[in-house]
Amino acid sequence: MVRVLVVYDSRTGNTEKAAFLIAEGARSVKGVNCVVKKVDEVALDDLLSADGVMVGSPTYYGGMSAKVKDLIDRSIAVHGKLEGKVGAAFTTSGGTATGAETTLLSIIKAMLIHGMIIKGNPRDKHYGLAVVEAPENDEDKELCREFGRSFAELTLKLSRISK
């Protein structure tokens, strides 16, 4: 069974809602076990035991939250051990053109430094999932589920190749 870890920070609940919808999509893929954890509850062993790691943060001044940054800073202790794992980022923001893409890139940059394989999207939301405020309407909810589904499918595919 492939393990996908969805890590998130959420002050208002918007990013948390996105995280659980993403997990719903990931869990719809046969052969995938998806665990959702608040960033405060994530140990470095959680990162090591996952085949794919998705990190979500609210957009704060065009970057990730301090709690997500702390996890990334602590991940220095496992540098080189996340290589080849699948990674992706998601964010919620207060509006359009408010820093969502730079937030995604700040998370993805750390994943690339770890040697992770980043899941992009050639159709829309190229750098990861970005939702304005909470995913409340059907379109945003489906975007979250599809992001989780496609991430889980890639993680499963790459896991089969590497074994």
Determine the structural domain holding residue 18 and report its residue range. Answer: 10-36+44-145
Q: What pLDDT is recorded for position 84?
A: 96
**Residue 141: inside a domain, yes or no?**
yes
Question: Residue 74 corresponds to which tokens in the numbers above?
Answer: 């602590």
Q: Does a structural domain hold residue 157?
A: no
Total domains, the chain = 1
Query: Does residue 153 lie within any of the structural domains?
Result: no
Residue 83 inside a domain? The answer is yes
Q: Phi and psi of 57, rounded to 5°?
A: -145, 145
Q: The domain spanning residue 86 has which CATH number?
A: 3.40.50.360
The answer to whether residue 18 sits within a structural domain is yes
- pTM for this entry: 0.96
Cβ neighbours of residue 7 under 8 Å, at least 6 residues apart?
37, 38, 39, 42, 46, 53, 54, 55, 56, 68, 71
Q: Residue 27: which residues within 8 A CB-CB, separation 6 or more? A: 33, 34, 148, 152
Q: How far apart, in whole angstroms, are the C-alpha atoms of residue 78 and residue 74?
A: 8
- In this prediction, residue 160 carries a pLDDT of 82
Q: What is the pLDDT of residue 163?
A: 60
Residue 156 lies in a domain: no
Strands (E), 94-147: 117-118, 129-132
Torsion over CA of 45, 50, 54 and 57, rounded to 10 degrees? -20
Condensed to tens digits (0 to 9), the pLDDT of residues 100-143 reads 999 999 999 999 999 999 999 888 889 999 999 999 999 999 99
